[in-house]
Structure 1
Amino acid sequence: MRPLWRCRACGAEWPCQPALLVEYRGDRTGLLIYLGALLAEAGDQLAQLNGHARPDGLHERFLGWARARGGTMFHVNHEPGAEIHHTDPFAVPSGQRSPVRRLRGRLAAPVTLWTAPGPAGLTVSSTLVAEGEPDRLLGLVDAESDLWAAIEAAGRFAVAPLGPPHRQLADRFAGLFPSPGGLFATGPWTDTDYGPVPTDAGGWAGCRLDTAREYGWALLVEATIETVDLAEETAPLLHYRGRYHDLT
């Protein structure tokens, strides 16, 4: 998220996405070149935000985690016999962790998939349904995502609650798992006027876009629920403290 250089998914300082380790699996040199190119761009933009003073520690933040440390190499390809760091290279030191992020992490949230004609999709764990006349749906999405561009163009979208069998699907649409052939290339899908939905989901809701506005580091999307199609009741997939959980 430029020019703040924070993760659009969680708000942490970028780079923070384990997706980089998937995208550059087996190509640590390519990863270093990619991050090195962005380091210069980030330095210029952050300096402007910081009164033209270049922030300290950018080199370590962008490149240090992918270099050798104390003779131990961090391998992104995890080849057999390779040594890797015993800690997450993206982890924020405990003393620097935001109390707001920690609070959010303690709030279990249902995992949903939002899709729109195009097609485009995104995993969302901030979906809220408000009953009324009319019934409404709200959620926080990435303003720079393909999903939002598709919703803005079509004026409508579909929301499907995911279950425990959809962990890999949720990671794929969150950008944390490779998707050769495209996001919708695998799995059974049902086409709707609002966007494709997983056939084996617990149901879906078709929504008409009302409005959207910046809210924190995300975009608060407000919509009217126009149709609901519920299948047999299924167990929900929950997101809690950075991981998926089943309801027991």
Structure 2
Amino acid sequence: MRPLWRCRACGAHWPCQPARLSLLVEYREDRTALLVYLGLLMAEAHAQLSQLNGQLHHAGLHDRFLTWARARGPAERVTMFHVNHEPGAQIHHTDPFAVPAGERSPVRRLRGRLAAPVTLWTAPGPAGLTVSSTLVAEGEPDRLLGLIDAESDLWAAVEEAGRFAVAPLGPPHRQLADRFAGLFPSPGGLFATGSWTDTPYGPVPADAGGWAGCRLDSAREYGWALLVEATIEVVELVTETDPLLHYRGRYRELT
């Protein structure tokens, strides 16, 4: 989000942890190209942030944009940290990209303490995004609201189609949730793996316990996100399944 150079999704200084992981995956075969790309962005960020904040410490931006992306030698290389790891996955013992405790936003920490259901939003195209800010409001008509990334492929598809599908995810969908959140590699595309059911509103996981088809009503900037308001037109409930929850940066299950 320019000129503040914060992540539109999480509000942290960009490149935040998910952005760094995504960039490392995207440029895994060409680290030099990644450094060139980040260098150009660093120069742009320096110019814009200097206008907002006056003189900046260039070294701080250098560490923020470039130091973490440098290729490591064999002795220094570590397994990439994965915050929502699958059983048996190899992870680093700490998050190398975590924001230091003293710099964490109190509001973000408060939001992290509010357990939220993990849902998958999809639209014709297809496009999809993991969303943990979905709210259903009963009424006449029934409505659905959610906060999403205004620069995501999902929003572009929803804006064009005027409709989208929302499916609550369960514990077996951890990797799928990470994939659509940009935290897990998706060779061949987001929908290349898994079984999907086509609907007029977008593909939904075949093993989802249910889904809702929504018609887009409006959208507006809300904080650092986009508040989407929609009318629920179709609800299909197949089986009752346990929810996948997001709490304090981790996936949790009901116990």
Give TM-score, length-normalised by structure 1: 0.89
RMSD: 2.4
Matched, 1:119 2:126: yes
Corresponding residue of 1:201: 208
Structure 2 contact 170–208 (Cα < 8 Å) conserved? yes
Is 2:7–2:13's contact at 8 Å kept on the other side of the alignment?
yes
8 Å CA contact 1:24–1:76 kept in 2: the answer is no
Partner of 1:92: 99
CA contact (8 A) 2:204 2:211 kept: yes
Task: Give the C-alpha shift of residue 13 in structure 1.
Answer: 0.4
Q: Does 1:157 align with 2:160?
A: no
* CA shift digits 1:98-127 (9 cap, x unpaired): 100110111111000000111111000000
Cα offset, 1:67, TM superposition: 4.7
* Unaligned residue ranges in structure 1 (runs of 5+): 79-83
Equivalent position of 2:253 in the other structure: 246
Corresponding residue number in structure 1 for 2:49: 46
Runs (5+) with no aligned partner, structure 2: 82-90
Per the alignment, residue 10 of structure 1 pairs with: 10
Aligned to 1:185: 192
Q: Read off the aligned partner of 2:218 and give its amino acid letter.
A: T
- Supply the distance in 1 between the matched residues of 2:22 and 2:154 (Cα, whole angstroms): 18
What is the CA–CA distance in structure 1 between the aligned matches of 2:37 and 2:133, rounded to whole Å? 31
Question: Would you say the 8 A contact 1:25–1:77 is kept in 2?
Answer: no
**Would the aligned equivalents of 2:163 and 2:214 in 1 still touch at CA under 8 Å?**
yes
Matched with 1:211 is 218
Residue-pair matches, total = 241
Q: C-alpha distance in 1, partners of 2:224/2:202?
A: 26
Percent identity of paired positions between Structure 1 and Structure 2 = 83
TM-score, normalised by the number of residues in structure 2:
0.86
Structure 1, 151-160 or 35-44: larger mean CA deviation: 35-44
Tell me how far apart the structure 1 counterparts of residues 80 and 95 of structure 2 sit (CA, whole Å).
15
Aligned 8 A contact 2:246 2:252 in 1: yes
Deviations 1:3-38 (A, max 9, x none): 221122211001112323333446544443332232
